[in-house]
A and B are shown apart, each in its own frame.
Chain A
Amino acid sequence: METAPEPGGDVPPKKSKLRVQRKQPTLSSCPQAQDPFPGPAPVPAEAAGKFRRINKSKQLPHAKAQTRSRPHAKAQTRSRLEVAEAEEEETSLRAARSALLLAEEPGFLEGEDGEDTAKVRQADIVEAVDIASAAKHFDLNLRQFGPYRLSYSRTGRHLAFGGRRGHVAALDWVTKKLMCEINVMEAVRDIRFLHSEALLAVAQNRWLHIYDNQGIELHCIRRCDRVTRLEFLPFHFLLATASETGFLTYLDVSVGKIVTALNARAGRLDVMTQNPYNAVIHLGHSNGTVSLWSPALKEPLAKILCHRGGVRAVAVDSSGTYMATSGLDHQLKVFDLRGTFQPLSAQTLPQGAGHLAFSQRGLLAAGMSDVVNIWAGQGKGSLPSLQQPYLTHRLSGQVHGLQFCPFEDVLGVGHSGGITSMLVPGAAEPNFDGLESNPYRSRKQRQEWEVKALLEKVPAELICLDPRALAEVDVATLEQQKKERIERLGYDPEAKAPFQPKPKQKGRSSTASLLKRRKKVLDEEHRDKVRQSLQQQQKQKKAKPEGARPSALDRFVR
């Protein structure tokens, strides 16, 4: 009875700290005492591998033999490479260790054995979660102003929505504080936050307008007319607009200039999305293709035939690995964007999906008339399995816009009946970068971030399929310059010195023997070359499919 601890009277933390301090000197003073786990804690290779940046898939050629100008080039190169690899190793380990600081864990929804999570209603989830999370599920009943498009700010704190009949509003949706509410007296096609919640781009019937968070019109951009869809590339400060006239226009919002206007030559554009990984714009066309665009090139970076009918919606996941498309053929397909552009999975939906959205953790949401289906994969960034939906929800109107809220397990759905904020456990990244997109940032912090972001703005020309291409050497220019230099000098300064036999004594250095030795080396080199070319030829032969045997009549074929 006396030993029973009091409910409130736990051992204060100070005391325990003291104890630990007392223990340490005894440990160190004892000569036998050894740390059972010496050194830093081991990091699993998988965790560290996530942060590895050196592309080892590229074959590294052997360092050239020494040239006259640099006798130690080989050793120096090796040491430089070793240093680079050691640095990578260390930084990746450090990064993997710091993952310990990511305290938040993603939410999840797991059915008891046999229970289908798709049957779980929003009401059930709301009832099960805590009050703060339950407050994130809400409906805005706005039936007057038609179907709504919506956009979350990059921090996930603010929500802007625009109704077809001109209703535009922006609010801090967590606290439900309204920032502005206006009617632009014109059809609103799309709405999008710019880099911060202070600026808002609205694609209206004729032109593109930019408002601030008070609802004051700042700009009317007449060069972007009849815009149907908007996308903002946050790291490049580019607003991409797709118009009815078939132009994809990039507007640099930091300087207010139009970077390029690309003619997609595919008629009206009304399906657009961005690849968050490499800032490439994906456009869906009526001929079933999806084209990938960069402002640096006048032609698409790639063109993928996805559907037999026109493409209705496109979405790309945050890691840039998967692209989900839905077409008029009622199919929903997921493509691999890592160079192959092949479909990984496909599913025929009863009515086809009109809107698609990927969440930060790789959940795929599809809006099919008035139902929203959400599919989930096995873990973060895995391929969503289209067999069984993770969640479903029926709305009071036709779905018109879908977006997952960043850093919140919330899916915003704009529909003809207003706005619905759905709870989707496990949708968003639980840990945010406080310096990059902080949902709780103050005004001052936002301003500071804005300056920093502008300083770190990525030039628009760098947009390409592989964002790491900047770390590559421009080989074409290098070769060209090398050739010019050789022409100018009259010889190749980096060429390997021709073999010069060493003089030997006791009559073995006769002219004949020198010649013989030189010949030997030259022949060996020649043999190597021939061997290599033979191997290549064999490879090519193997690659060629063994078709039908040639017939004698082939000679008449023209």
Chain B
Amino acid sequence: MSAEDLLAWRPQEELKDLPKDGPPSPSDDEAGSDGERKHWKLLEAISSLGGKGRWKLAERSEAGMHASEFSVGSAGKLALADLLQAAEPASSLATVKRQLKRVQVKTLALPASKEEVARVQREAAFHQSSQALSKWEPIVLKARQAEQLVFPLQKEPAASAPLEHMLRGWTAKTPLEREVFHTLHQHRQPVRDPLLTPVERAARQAMSLEEARTRRAALQRARALQSYYEAKARQAKKIKSKKHRRVVKKGKAQKALGERGPLPEGSAPSALEELDRRETARVMERMGLKHQSRGKRARALAIRTRYEPKARQARQDQLARNKELMQKHQAPDSEEEEEGGLLAPDVDQAQTDPTGSNPWMLRRPTSESREARIPKGPDLLPEPAALEDSASEQESPGADKDTWGKESEERQPLQERWEPSQDAEPVGPQARRDTSHQEVVSEVRALSQKLSKRGRPSRKKPEASSLGAVLPTQSSESMQTKVELGRENYPPDMELPRPVSGGPRAERIPEDQQPGVPRKQRKEPIIDIQNLLTASPPPGTPWAPEELEGDGERGQRQVIMEAFAGDDVIQDFLKEKRAVVEESQPKAVDLTLPGWGEWGGVGLQPRAKKRCRFLVPSPAGPPRKDGNRPNVIISETRNSSMAAHQVHVLPPPFSHPQQFERTIQVPVGATWNTPRAFQKLTTPKVVTKPGHIIKPIRAEDAGCRSSSRSDLSVVQRAPNWLSTQHRRNTDRAALRP
């Protein structure tokens, strides 16, 4: 240790000793002399003279037993026991020293610096918040790619305040209101809050949702059944079938009988009367012919006839009687039919009738007679049926349109007559009457055709026929007569009226209607009215238009033109084209100076090769559009007025005009698109609801609930920094279209 070191050391030692001396025992303090204190003050004053107000802590440069606790540094490892060294060695401290040596003291890590702490916090916050924000990425992406965004995102619930709230501050004032409230009170109806009667409230509480559902379903079912039965009853009411009616009637009667129950007791007059009535009813029933073959007895009889001749005889007798009865029955039937009587023929009879297997067929006479009136091709005419309708015979054969209507009406009772045999007949007479005469006619036609083909007996509904389908029934004869009539009306040289103004109608003959008749045959008999009208000769071959007298001169001229005009025209055109092409070609620049090559005198032409040296050829332009087509000149002039309407700026993402052109080639207007396509092409990118505040997106709106919590935690940890950053991010997410 050098002298300066010692000098530097000395006061420190004293300083160090002083507090050790001072504080440990107050008794010392009391006993301490004033001299020492004075000496200390003096030393203080001397040291303050040194210029520095503060003491300098000495640096420990070497290991030593004495270490100041004020200058504990990181230079060496400090043993705690050293610090316990007192001014005078005390034996009592040795044990403590030993104990302390035994104690394993962990050294704490250095506390990190402020900047470091801040950096670590920042990093952690960034990591967490970026994680939290990364959940928004798909939403942001979706929003960017979406074709349309609708704002505000939050669906506002329909703001409907309950009625009770609306009624709270309201009292009945007018007499009407008062009366209403009075009535409500009388019937114990709730006036306010809530609008349910106590019973209803109880029911509502009592019934669970499931129960309510089942109950509702049951009610619905009951309602459906009711409506179904109603419909059924309505339909049943409309049934026209007599058989059905009879069955119903019988059923009712039986029911009534059942209700009436057994005969009244005793021989009261009422009981006798009742008995009588029943007997009469039974006799009436048995008198009918319907039990002749179906009854129990009749069937037994039929079996017995095989073995018993007597029974056979009885049966035959009965059959004969039956026949007799039937004949008697039939004779007045036709007469009654004429009168339009409505006597129903027996059902059994109708079924046994060999010709009348289908009652519809029995209407044939009417239709046939009609067809007979309008003569047809022989192959199409069906055989006249056995039965003749006298009513239609009475009509004149030259009857016109009106007869069709008449007949359709007249057919009506006939059909009604036959209806008992047809079970289901939903069409009423009114509807039948309403059928247009076209339908009737087409029906008849289809029927007769089917008959001629001898197809199945079942009727098939013909296709909806138009006027055109009707007309072909008219024969060529009738057409001829009509044409003749037309001729009588108009002199031959005068023009007949046009077809549209009621002239002879043109006919459309569908091929499928008359497959057997070839086209030519149909055409020939009909007189060509148009030919009559235009009076033009039939055209010759299409290739030879007639040379007219006046045209001769012109023809001559054409021949001359043809003979002389050929090559001249071509040459002219080629010359013109050459001129145009040359004009459009870029010119070479001539760099010759005046006087060049004129050494020998004025007027000498320098050689071409030498001249070429001074010609600067300009770059060849783009190839001409008509380059290899000698017969065309296509102008290469730029249409500058058109260019004014064209786009001449390339919008940002595109680098080539072709790319941009592709995006504007699809027309957007409604004229070129279907309405839906137009709508789709013109949808706005962002739709905002007017009058609504557009709030930034929330996690609930986007559908990620969990992210909100982590967001919050991050915000709490680093509030200052995050508040700005987060806001920026969420704003971007919300507003980015």
Contact = CB atoms under 8 A, between A and B. Distances in A.
Contacts of A112: 519
A81 B663 contact: yes
Interface in A333-351: 339-342, 350-351
A445 interface: no
Contact of B439 (A7, A83, A137, A328): A7
18 contacts: A1-B421, A2-B422, A53-B665, A77-B655, A84-B662, A118-B542, A127-B528, A131-B499, A132-B500, A287-B569, A296-B639, A297-B637, A302-B635, A303-B576, A305-B570, A308-B565, A342-B629, A470-B645
A180 interface: no
Interface in B451-499: 457-462, 468, 495, 498-499
Given A296-B642, A461-B644, A84 B666 contact: yes
Interface in A301-340: 301-310, 328-330, 339-340
B288 to A, nearest CB: 23
Contacts of B634: 301-302, 341
B689 interface: no
A473 B661 CA distance: 7
A538 interface: no
B146 interface: no
A94 B641 contact: no
A135 B498 contact: yes
Interface in B409-467: 421-427, 431-432, 435, 439, 443, 457-462
Contact of B562 (A129, A131, A328, A456): A328
Contacts of B566: 308, 329
Given A389-B542, A494-B655, A123 B681 contact: no
Nearest to B673: A91
Given A138-B498, A288-B569, A302 B653 contact: no
A492 interface: no
A394 B534 CA distance: 11
Interface stretch (A58-66, A156-164, A198-206): A58-66
A194 B434 CA distance: 50
A544 interface: no
Contact of B523 (A127, A299, A369): A127
B530 A64 contact: no
Contacts of B205: none
A233 B332 CA distance: 83
Contacts of A58: 658, 661
A87 interface: yes
A302 B633 contact: yes
Contact of A299 (B459, B608, B637): B637
A287 B506 CA distance: 49
Q: Which of B458, B519, B536 has the most CB of A within 10 A?
A: B536
Given A84-B665, A472-B657, 16 more contacts: A7-B435, A81-B659, A88-B666, A123-B530, A135-B498, A288-B565, A297-B635, A297-B639, A302-B634, A305-B573, A309-B562, A329-B566, A394-B536, A476-B643, A477-B643, A478-B648
Given A473-B646, A481-B648, A8 B427 contact: yes
Interface stretch (B13-21, B305-313, B543-551): B543-551
A478 B529 CA distance: 69
Nearest 8 A-B pairs (CB), nearest first?
A135-B500, A392-B542, A473-B657, A76-B653, A477-B648, A461-B641, A64-B655, A371-B545
B490 to A, nearest CB: 15
Q: Which of B359, B528, B632, B681 has the most CB of A within 10 A?
A: B632
Interface in B494-550: 495, 498-500, 505-509, 519, 523, 526, 528-531, 533-534, 536-540, 542-548
A412 B318 CA distance: 84
Contacts of B647: 473-474
Contacts of B533: 139
Interface string A132-173: 101101110100000000000000000000000000000000
A350 B543 contact: yes
Interface in A29-54: 53-54
Given A91-B666, A131-B505, A302-B635, A1 B657 contact: no
B658 A80 contact: no
Interface of B: 357-360, 421-427, 431-432, 435, 439, 443, 457-462, 468, 495, 498-500, 505-509, 519, 523, 526, 528-531, 533-534, 536-540, 542-548, 551, 555, 558, 561-562, 565-566, 569-570, 572-573, 576, 608, 625-626, 629, 631-635, 637-639, 641-650, 652-667, 671, 673-674, 676-677, 680-681
A276 B667 CA distance: 19
Contacts of A122: 530
A383 interface: no
B228 to A, nearest CB: 13
Contacts of B681: 87, 91
A3 B301 CA distance: 35
A73 interface: yes
Contact of B677 (A77, A94, A287): A94
A134 B543 CA distance: 27
Q: Which of B499, B505, B529 has the most CB of A within 10 A?
A: B499
B653 A77 contact: yes
Given A77-B659, A478-B648, A340 B427 contact: no
A396 interface: yes
Contacts of A4: 358, 360, 458-460
B566 to A, nearest CB: 4
B539 to A, nearest CB: 4
A235 to B, nearest CB: 11
A53 B669 CA distance: 13
A475 B638 CA distance: 11
B545 A370 contact: yes
Q: Which of A306, A350, A461 has the most CB of B within 10 A?
A: A461
A105 interface: no
Contacts of A9: 426-427, 431
B653 A134 contact: no
Contact of B652 (A70, A98, A288, A299): A70
A460 to B, nearest CB: 9
Contacts of B562: 308-309, 328-330
A62 B655 CA distance: 9
Interface string A1-34: 1111111111000000000000000000000000
A97 B671 CA distance: 16
Contacts of A98: 674
A126 B662 CA distance: 50
Given A1-B358, A84-B666, A330-B562, A341 B631 contact: yes
A230 interface: no
Given A91-B677, A287-B569, A309-B565, A369 B659 contact: no
Nearest to A399: B545
Given A305-B569, A371-B542, A394-B539, A127 B459 contact: no
A7 B507 CA distance: 25
Given A1-B359, A4-B459, A94-B677, A81 B662 contact: yes
Q: Which of A5, A81, A127, A392 has the most CB of B within 10 A?
A: A127
Nearest to B540: A394
Nearest to A469: B642
Contact of B663 (A80, A302, A310, A350): A80
Nearest to B531: A123
B506 A351 contact: no
A304 B631 contact: yes
Contacts of B652: 70, 73
B661 A472 contact: yes
A316 to B, nearest CB: 16
Interface string A545-558: 00000000000001
A124 interface: yes
A351 B547 contact: yes
A55 interface: yes
A469 B498 CA distance: 50
A369 B632 contact: no
Contacts of A470: 642, 645-646
